[in-house]
Every structure is written in structure tokens, then in C-alpha cells.
Amino acid sequence: MGCPLTRFVPLLVLLAAVAACYAQVGELGFTNWDDDQYLAERPQVRTGLSLANARWAFTATHVGNWHPLTTLSHQLDCSLFGLEPRGPHVENALLHFVVCWLLFSFWHRATGQTWRALAVALLFAVHPLHVESVAWVSERKNLLCALFWLLTMHAWLGYASHGGMFRDALVAICCALALLAKPMAVTLPVALMLVDWWPFRHASNLRTALRGKCLLLALAIAAAVMTLLAQARFGAVQTAELVPWNLRAVNAARSYGIYLWQFLWPRELSCMYPLPGGGDESFALDATWLWQGLASLAVVATFTLVLCFKRRALPAAWMGWGWYLVTLLPVIGLVQVGEQAHADRYMYLPMIGLLVAVVWTWNDWLPRWLASAAMRNGINTTLLVALSAGCIWLTRAQVPVWQDSHTLFTHALAVGRQTDAALFNLGLHEDRLGDWDDAEQFYLRSLKLNPRHTRAMNNLGGIELRRNRPAEALAWFDRAVAAGVEHPLLYINRGEALTRLERWPEAVTDLARAVKASPHDVRALHLLGRSRAAVGQLAAALDALNRAVAEGNPTPELLNDRGAVELTLGHTLAAAQDFRAALTAQPENTGILVNLAEVMTRQGNRNAATAMLEKRRDQLPNDSPQRAAIDAAIARLREAK
């Protein structure tokens, strides 16, 4: 092969392949499918990398996940790029290239086979199933996990060859970083056992296979426990009543077959593959899924049995097939997280095993009927170029699907994924654009498919609030609460509807519950303070408003409400400061101006207060409601003399 080929040509080939596939990613935007929750709506992330935010990354869960390394990477992105999507998308593509290079270099180091290692890495680089992992900013965790997974394998290669405490520690550190990026790395110790069997041939029995991996297994178990606790607390782990065990078992068997089919024929890919059934009660197994699951089980069992008998004759195929089966286990659906049947992103690491099995088996089989080395090389090169070109064409067509939420979920509906989640996210997209009518229709269609979709109920209530129809909004929030939802946002929204209806005691109950669950939510604290003030709990109201202001960047409305409570309590100096700060931010706000005049009067500055009001009144039209309010305030000041 020669040194130039080994060192430079594979690098350039992989770089060109990734660039050909993902040159468009810099033009993609964020989606409302986790990107908002991972970045824009998370203050501890969007404010960038800092000591306090880094501490939060390790001590809190993020969208139901505990993956601090991934969270740190998002914080770094916000420090470098703000909330602009171009930087994170390009970074994802670069990480994918690095993963491909590490994949090539590992199999080249482990086997000495340059062409085969390059074929594995090249097909991995361009396969359309990986678009979701690269083009979706929220799947940074997949890329980081794969990066440190492969670094662990490189470190293990050094440890297996030379031993030493330093190399052993390096293996453990890289494994821990892979787990901190995404808990799917819990199967990494088993993957190392497989490569110990082939190509290293160090493991002849279970005892030798476990050698040097006990610490890695302990790390994997700890990460699995942390993940299950985080997902359960977030409410993402589905109960057996919602997703029955018979459906989980059939879906697991079916998914192994579906992933194999998508590996061979990656068409009509979607961000969503729903479970069957749903509706009022639970998902339910149907006849189609049952026979698909049984057929898939038969295929998987046949491959497994054949390779068991042929494991010595086809060691690479046995290792690769075992890799595929094992690395998919955490996401195969036996522990059901979310409502997807399977997902493209779950094939990022398992595909490595399939590619190794196919490439090595093909090249071991080819010489049996083709003796000429030149012919073999020609066939291999032609086939690899053809497969890569086809994959690049499909991948380039799939990348623009991730342009924004509209293209993403419209595509999901177009390829037959009529899911409540796709309709809901389309509604969310229209909602954030301010098109409430279209958003409402998407939410209603989502509810028609899934009457349990409480987020759709909550958002329909939010639209009614923005239309200033609090009674209609309250009906939607009540329906969501009746479905058993305990999310703080729902109680905040219902609390706001109750405040607008002046049902203050009920509002206090809801908002106090929301603040208990989310103690740093400014909106919840603000509304709680306003509600407590309305029922006469002034000290408690001031405490809530003070906490809201302490969170930073208080709104003029918040400062005005706190000033009103301070004024009622007789804290005129503090009230005046709040009213002046609020008026500086909103100089046209007549209500704040009237409140400031009131506190100035109590401070003995009646004439100055009256003059301030008269000056503002003279700037307003005669028929203006604000002018009438100022006239009434001036009259009150004069009557109080």
C-alpha cells in the first residue's frame, strides 16, 4: 500500500465524502424538536460556558437526559456562536468526519487491512441513515459518544498490545467520556470483548474476555442507572399500561429487521416511526406488526445460528453481527423511552458492526471464485465507488429535510408517518411564527390522532390566552390536568388564566405548585406574587416578586407589580425606584406613570406628580383612553389635598 496511501489518501477520501454529503448543513436552521429545549429555552445553556453552568450540566438533567459532556458542548457552542445555527451544524459535520477517520484508523491498526478499513469508514461516512445524527443539532450526543467510543477502542488497542497502568487509565477515561456524552455507550465493554475475540484473538473464554473491563462495566451500570432515573423523573419512560410488554417484545424483534432493511435500502427515511395504536388508552399490537416481528425474528435467529456455527470460519462476520445485536439493545424498546418504534439515529454505532461483517466477509469470499488480484481490486473499487455515489446522492437529498421544523415534519407526513407528534410540531412551528389559526388546526389534528396529547391541549390553551380568552384557555388547561399531567408549565399557564379571571385563590394554589417544581421560573414567581397580593398575602407576594427580580432582567410589568406591593406595604422609597426603572423601560406606559405619581404624592411631591401627569396628558389625543386614565388620576390627587 505504501506510506502515502496509508496516511493521506484515506484522509482525503473521507474528507471529500463527508463534504460531498454535508456541504449544505451550514444552511440548516434549528428545529422545534429538542433544539429549542437544548439551546434557546435553557438559560443554563444559552448563556454559554461558565463555572455555574458547567456545575449545572453535571448536577441536573437536560430534557430528561443526564449527559453532561453533551450539555457542555452545547454551552460552548452558545459561547462561540450565540444562538446562530450555522456553527453547531458545521461542528456536527466536522465531528462526523473525525469519527469516520478514527473508525478507519482503528480497523487499519487492528487488522493491517487498508482497503477494507477504508471501505468500512467510507460507507459509514456517506450512509443516509446517519443524516439524523449529523444534521440534527440535538444529536450532538451521538457524535460525541461515537468519538470517545472509538478513542476508547484505540486506547484499548494500545493496552491490549502493551499493557501498563497509563493505558489502562486512558481506556477508563475515554469510556467515561463516552458515557457522559450519551448513555448508549453502556454496551462499550461488551464491544471490547467482541474485538478481543476478533481481530485481537485475546479472549478464549469469559474470564479472559472480562480481563481489564470490570471498571468499564461498573461505569456502564452507573450510567444506566442515572439515565433511567433521569428519564423516569422527566416522564419519558412509558408504563406497561401505555406500551404493553407484548408490543415491546414484538417491536424489538421487528426493529432488528427494520434496521437491517434500512441499512440495505435507506429510502423514505423519517424523523418519526410511530408505534401502532395509541388513542385514548394505550398503544396496541396489531396483526401487521405481529407478522413483521415474527419474520424479523426468523431472519435474525437464522443469521445468528449460522454465524454461531461459522464463527471460526467467518470471525469478522460473527464479531460484526454480535456488535450489531448488542449495541442496539439499549435502544431497542424493551425499556420504552418516548413513543417511537425505532429511530435512524440509533443505528449510528451499530452500523459499524454490520459494515465490518459485510466488508470482511465479501473480501474473504471473493478470492474463492476470482483468482486474479487485479480483477478483485477492480471489482472492489468499482463496487465501493458505486455504493458510495448512491449513498451520497441519497444523503444529499435527505439533508435539506432538516432545514427547519416545517420541512422536517412535512416530510414525515409525506412519507406516511401520520403521527400526532409530527402534527403537533408543525403546529408549534406555526404557533411561533404567530399564525395561531394554522397552529390551532395542527394541534386539533394531533389531538384527533392522540386524545392524550396533553402538550397539544396546553398549547391550545396558550393560543386562547394570547387571544385574551381566558375562560376558553382554562378549559384546555383543565383537560390537560385531568389527564394526569404534572408539568410546571401547565400549572403556570393555568395559573395565568385564573389570574385573568380574577380567581385569585385558585391561581395561588396552581402557581405555588409550579414554583415548588420550578423554583427559578420568573413567570411563575411573578404571577404568584401578583396572585398573593390580590388575596392580601403581601409579605409572601413581595418575597415571590423579589425572587423573580433576582433571577435577572426583570420586565417593566414585574417591576411595576413589585412597586405596587411595596407601595401598599409603605415602602415608598423602594416603590419609587421600581416605578422609575419600569418607566425608563416603558416610557409610554400610562399605568406605571400613574403609580409613580401616587408614590411621589405620598413622599410629599404632589405638585411635581401632578405636573408630570399633566405633561403626559397634553401629549395624548383627546379621545385616548390613556388620557382619560390620567385625568382620573389627576382628579384623585386634587381631591386628596
Task: Please choose, from the candidates 486, 185, 127, the residue with its C-alpha nearest in 3D space to the C-alpha of residue 326.
Answer: 185
How many Å apart are CA 258 and CA 293, to the nearest integer?
9
What backbone phi and psi angles, to 5 degrees, belong to 589? -80, 110
* Residues in contact with 16: Cβ distance below 8 Å, sequence separation at least 6, in sequence order: none
| Higher-confidence position of 444 and 606 | 444
Please tell me what DSSP assigns to residue 591: H
How many Å apart are CA 496 and CA 384, to the nearest integer?
61
**CA angle centred on 183, ends 179 and 189, rounded to 5°:** 65
pLDDT at 227: 72
pLDDT at 232: 56
pLDDT at 1: 42
Q: Give the SS3 label for residue 237.
A: strand
* Residues in contact with 134: Cβ distance below 8 Å, sequence separation at least 6, in sequence order: 22, 25, 92, 93, 96, 143
Q: pLDDT category, 228, cuts 50, 70, 90? A: low
pLDDT at 548: 94
* DSSP assignment string, 373-442: HHHHHHHHHHHHHHHHHHHHHHHHHHGGGGSSHHHHHHHHHHTT---HHHHHHHHHHHHHHT-HHHHHHH
DSSP E strand boundaries for 96-234: none
Q: Summarize pLDDT for 239-278 with one digit per residue, the tens.
A: 445 677 788 889 999 999 999 999 999 999 999 888 876 5
Q: Kindly report the pTM of this predicted structure.
A: 0.86
Looking at the predicted structure, is the pLDDT value of residue 235 above 60?
no
Task: Please choose, from the candidates 67, 105, 51, 317, the residue with its C-alpha nearest in 3D space to the C-alpha of residue 184.
Answer: 67
Beta bridge partners of 65: 62
How many Å apart are CA 63 and CA 354, to the nearest integer?
31
With cell 400610562, the residue in question is 590
Average pLDDT of the chain? 89
With cell 461498573, the residue in question is 218
- The average pLDDT across 522-533 equals 95
- The average pLDDT across 54-63 equals 84
* Residues in contact with 336: Cβ distance below 8 Å, sequence separation at least 6, in sequence order: 237, 238, 243, 248
| Higher-confidence position of 519 and 353 | 353
Span between the terminal Cα atoms of the chain, in Å: 100
Cβ atoms of residues 524 and 546 within 8 Å: no
Q: Which amino acid is at 403?
A: Q
What cell does 436 get? 395561531
Contacts 24+ apart (CB under 8 A), 74-83: 74/38, 74/39, 74/45, 74/140, 75/44, 75/45, 75/48, 75/49, 75/50, 76/48, 76/49, 77/39, 78/39, 78/45, 78/46, 78/47, 78/48, 78/49, 79/48, 79/49, 83/39, 83/40, 83/46
How many Å apart are CA 543 and CA 620, to the nearest integer?
37
Cβ atoms of residues 259 and 328 within 8 Å: yes
Q: pLDDT category, 417, cuts 50, 70, 90? A: low
Helices (H) and strands (E) in the chain, counts: 33, 0
Looking at the predicted structure, is the pLDDT value of residue 341 above 60?
yes
Q: Give the SS3 label for residue 274.
A: strand
How many Å apart are CA 473 and CA 463, to the nearest integer?
8
Q: Summarize pLDDT for 615-628 with one digit per residue, the tens.
A: 888 888 877 788 88
| Chain-centre distance for alpha carbon 147 | 19
Cβ atoms of residues 353 and 322 within 8 Å: yes
Q: Summarize pLDDT for 163-221 with one digit per residue, the tens.
A: 778 888 999 999 999 999 998 999 999 999 999 989 987 665 556 556 778 888 888 88
Q: pLDDT category, 236, cuts 50, 70, 90? A: very low
pLDDT at 240: 47
Looking at the predicted structure, is the pLDDT value of residue 639 above 80?
no
Looking at the predicted structure, is the pLDDT value of residue 487 above 80?
yes
Burial 547-561 (b: 16+ CB within 10 A, else e): bbbeeeebbbbbbbb
pLDDT at 221: 87
pLDDT at 6: 56
Beta bridge partners of 281: none
Looking at the predicted structure, is the pLDDT value of residue 237 above 70?
no
- The average pLDDT across 412-421 equals 84
How many Å apart are CA 591 and CA 563, to the nearest integer?
12
